Chains A and B, each alone.
Chain A
Amino acid sequence: MSNNSAHLFDLKEARGRIERKDKSIRPKITSLQDAVKQFIPSGSHVAVGGCLYSRTPTALIHEIIRQKRADLTISRSLTGMEADLLLAASALSTVVTSWWSIGYAWGISSMMRKFVQEGKVEFEEWSHLALGLRYRAAAMGTSFLPTFSMLGTDLERTNKVEKFVCPYTGEKMLLVPALYPDVGLIHAHRADKFGNVEIDGFHFMDEDIARASGRVIVTAEEIVDSDHFRNQPDRTAIPFFCVDAVVEVPYGSYPSECWNLYDADFSHFSDFSQATNESGVDGANEYLSRYVYASKSFQNFLDMIGIGRLLELKKSMENVIR
């Protein structure tokens, strides 16, 4: 497949995007609407931060769907419900991931199965480490990294990845190509108006995604004063110059969990899974009509879930974290 993301990137252009970027310390607070309008045109490659049902940038995913983007490529370490929603919204052409389903508890995603088996979306499969090294190679500004993963398998063959013989040891290794997303979406615990970002708990691949991507949009549970960062710079996961837009979105990864703040809403995932298992894409579209298209904002969506439920998830997090 010539459209495999392994063979699509332009190293000089990827570097040029960062050279041309405005790296000044300046306010970047904006709205979900403006961030998506400005930085995510149709056809973009969007790297999605978090992992499976943890710290998914849900508010941004909803906004992408509301603005009717099409022909997107998304990449993510483990891909879940967000891909099913984008599929239902006809926004997706390619998914670059190591694993795609809603989650262990809900069996195999019927949306993923239907769309992939009917050839309506490209499922580009890499091993988990290979995908991580692809982001990291890009984060390093290079074009590949060596690994033993995927050697000898059909993953090596289907992605047409190159092997090389190490000049020092004579051992064979696989060279995974860099993955340079157009834009990275990160949901974080806190940020300041300049785009400095703190993440508590698991960081997943978010720091590499931020460095690898041409643009970065951050939603944060809370916008804090810059002194917060200046007082403990060792805690800064992503520095301001990587970030292009910052939006304050409390509960911005719901129904995913946000470490130490709120638990995942498993019954919400169950309802979605059941709807798509029973009614296929109609079930997913019903979800979109009810929760995404009908709401003008993410706050609207959260209002539908209800403050009572959100507080329950907060309580639940307190019970399971320690």
Chain B
Amino acid sequence: MSSAKASYTKAELLAVMTSRLLEDKKTVFVGIGLPMAAALLAQLTRSPALSIIFEGGIIAPELKHGEMPLSTNEVRAGRRAMAFCDITDIFLYQQRGYIDYGLLGAAQIDQYGNINTSVIGDFHKPKVRFPGSGGANDIASSSTRVLVTLIHEKRRFVEKVDFVTSPGYLTGNNSRIDSGLIFGGPFKVITDLGIMGFDQKSKRLKVEAIQSDATIEQIRDNTAFELLIADTLEIIEAPTKDELEILRKIDPEKVMLRGN
């Protein structure tokens, strides 16, 4: 192993961390951008038998490296798929229980893992309008384990989101189940500073692991609410040279991992 530290962007770091959580032989509902890079990386490393599902109604495609789709409803996303179905039906497979992992990004997330991708401010007179749920609400409601990936910033980690687009554990404790959401739920929140799970009882975010170059103070400073901290904190292994090389081969133009 080389002692020189590999250099990588925040987006690359997030994609690698997400890919490591995707177990082999499972199904994963994948959105455009970072989740797609993460799922493909997982397939080429730990999880060769991971099946990708896209909302366009696409089951188990084989994407062409360097030809990344710009939407999950376009021809490139469907390359060498095993089956196509209607959009409504792909989400119904998910509601039926066929999707093991759902990958989500977020504009804002709160202490219970609720996600906002709709509005800042009032819904009908928003200060800032985002594009909306798309399939995110459905993934958060019905996939078995939800992984949320985002950059760790105070403005994104808020005590209460302006608008709950996609449900986490709502107001904590049993509120998710009480609302009728008896399946699924957020599993891990992955950031450039660490990985968080949820306290079993209160359902509040709990730091379980920190990135190799981050500190717990950094995580606290970049979070606008009080985070629970696990008794023993795992230090996460930085992205390896191999992981980064594969990632860059999948998406040489950084179509999926723009910025940062």
Which A residues contact B (CB, under 8 angstroms)?
A: 1, 51-54, 77-78, 97-101, 103-105, 108-109, 112-113, 116-117, 119, 123, 125-130, 132-133, 135-136, 147-155, 158, 163, 171-174, 201-205, 207-208, 257, 259-260, 263-264, 266, 317, 320-322
Contacts and interface: CB of A to CB of B under 8 A. Distances in A.
A108 to B, nearest CB: 6
7 contacts: A54-B71, A54-B74, A98-B133, A112-B129, A129-B95, A135-B88, A202-B57
Contacts of A208: 86, 88
Nearest to A128: B135
Nearest to A205: B87
Nearest to A316: B75
Contact of B73 (A51, A130, A136, A150): A51
The 10 closest A-B pairs by CB, nearest first: A172-B180, A132-B88, A152-B179, A127-B137, A129-B91, A99-B134, A101-B131, A128-B135, A129-B138, A51-B73
A287 B38 CA distance: 37
Residue of B94, B134, B176, B255 with highest tally of chain A CB at under 10 A = B134
A51 B135 contact: no
B5 interface: no
A108 B87 CA distance: 23
Give the size category of B's interface with A.
35 or more
Contacts of A259: 75, 78
B86 to A, nearest CB: 5
Given A116-B126, A153-B166, 17 more contacts: A51-B56, A54-B56, A98-B135, A98-B137, A113-B128, A127-B136, A127-B138, A128-B91, A128-B138, A148-B182, A152-B167, A171-B182, A202-B84, A203-B57, A266-B70, A320-B79, A322-B80
Interface stretch (B18-26, B117-125, B189-197, B208-216): B117-125
A320 B76 contact: yes
Contacts of B55: 128
Interface in B101-134: 114, 118, 123-134
